[in-house]
């Protein structure tokens, strides 16, 4: 989305208009969630509706509870803590580690308030994390 927005002349970028960006992400997340119902097996969302609604709530004060309660995901949510040793900014990720840590802190509070069970993933390799996620979901 961050690459598409400038190409279409839009300003819905997190560093230009965070509110427009969050609303666009919410729209996209709802569409992705609806499309996932047509798929078999596990479907994983890297970020999603509740993350975007949390950002919108942070920016505007608009409550996300109704949106988050009506549009449920699996009860288990996996969060990966910010990893300072590998964190980098780039043209699509301009916010610094401080903003990332603040967002992570908000998500740690918001997901349980919406009734989700949060599992914190360890700072290990991708394959080990993937195996841990799948083992956890088997229980």
pLDDT tens sequence across 14-28: 787 889 889 999 999
Q: What distance in Å separates the CA atoms of residue 117 and residue 76, rounded to the nearest whole number?
A: 5
Q: Which domain holds residue 18?
A: 4-138
pLDDT tens column, 38-51? 999 999 998 889 99
Q: What is the secondary structure of 45-85 as a DSSP string?
A: -SS-HHHHHHHHHHHH----HHHHHHS---SEEEE----TT
List the beta strands (DSSP E) in the chain: 76-79, 117-120
Contact yes or no for 26/56 (Cβ under 8 A) = yes
Highest mean pLDDT among 4-18, 89-103, 113-127: 113-127
Name the average pLDDT for the chain. Answer: 89
> Residue 109 — very low, low, confident or very high, per pLDDT cuts 50/70/90?
very high
Q: Which residues of 31-48 are buried (b: 16+ CB within 10 A; e: fewer)?
A: eebeeeeeeeeeeeeeeb
How many structural domains is the chain composed of?
1
Residue 18: both structure tokens together: 């965070």
Return the closest-CA partner of residue 55 out of 105, 8, 6, 10. Answer: 105
């Amino acid at each position: 989305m961050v690459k598409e927005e400038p190409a279409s002349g839009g300003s819905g970028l997190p560093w230009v208009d965070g509110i427009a960006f969050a609303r666009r992400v919410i729209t996209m997340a709802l569409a992705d969630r609806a499309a996932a119902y047509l798929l078999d097996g596990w479907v994983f969302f890297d970020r999603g509706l509740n993350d975007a609604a949390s950002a919108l709530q942070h920016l505007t004060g608009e409550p996300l509870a109704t949106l988050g309660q009506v549009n449920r995901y699996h009860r288990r949510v996996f969060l990966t803590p910010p990893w300072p040793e590998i964190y980098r900014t780039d043209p699509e990720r301009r916010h610094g580690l401080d903003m990332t840590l603040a967002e992570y802190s908000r998500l740690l509070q918001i997901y349980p308030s919406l009734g989700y069970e949060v599992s914190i993933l360890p700072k290990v390799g991708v394959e080990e994390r993937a195996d841990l996620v799948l083992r956890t979901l088997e229980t």
